[in-house]
């Protein structure tokens, strides 16, 4: 099937022959194609936003709290650094929370 992903433009869509599902490993977009009628049923729109249709885990990438593990790690670290910078949290809290973030990221990768 020579169709690019409508969500991210990835030209290499993967096909799950057993379930007649065409999906994009890049963004999680997935549609079910009925081999009899040719009807296409959207399963996941992929990309950001989420919405009503949750991306099936097998078609999406690993995530922590719904975000990419690296995004989670960088975002949480940025928030902690900012909190430390404006003296919202003491250094000991920062070390503790940053350790937790690294642990969650490490096991969630």
CB of 56 to Zn ion, least distance (A): 14
Query: Which of 22, 24, 55, 101 contacts Zn ion by CB under 5 A?
Result: 24
CB of 70 to Zn ion, least distance (A): 18
Nearer to Zn ion, 10 or 67 (CB): 10
29 lies in the site for Zn ion, by CB under 5 A:
yes
8 lies in the site for Zn ion, by CB under 5 A:
yes
Alpha-carbon torsion (87, 92, 94, 97), positive or negative: negative
41 phi, psi to nearest 5 deg? -115, 120
- In the chain, the DSSP E strands lie at 14-16, 21-23, 30-33, 40-44
> In this structure, how many other beta carbons lie within 10 angstroms of the beta carbon of residue 96?
13
14 lies in the site for Zn ion, by CB under 5 A:
no
13 lies in the site for Zn ion, by CB under 5 A:
no
Strands 21-23 and 30-33, by their bridges, are antiparallel
Residues that bind Zn ion (CB under 5 A): 5, 7-8, 10, 24, 26-27, 29
């Amino acid at each position: 099937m020579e169709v690019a992903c409508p969500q991210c433009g990835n030209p290499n869509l993967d096909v799950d022959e057993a379930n007649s599902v065409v999906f994009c490993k890049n963004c999680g977009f997935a549609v079910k194609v009925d081999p009899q009628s040719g009807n296409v049923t959207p399963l996941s729109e992929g990309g950001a936003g989420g919405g009503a249709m949750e991306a099936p885990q097998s078609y999406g990438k690993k995530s922590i709290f719904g975000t990419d593990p690296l995004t989670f790690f960088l975002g949480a670290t940025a928030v902690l650094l900012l909190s430390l910078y404006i003296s919202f949290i003491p250094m000991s809290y920062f070390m503790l929370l940053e350790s937790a973030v690294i642990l969650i990221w490490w096991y969630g990768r």
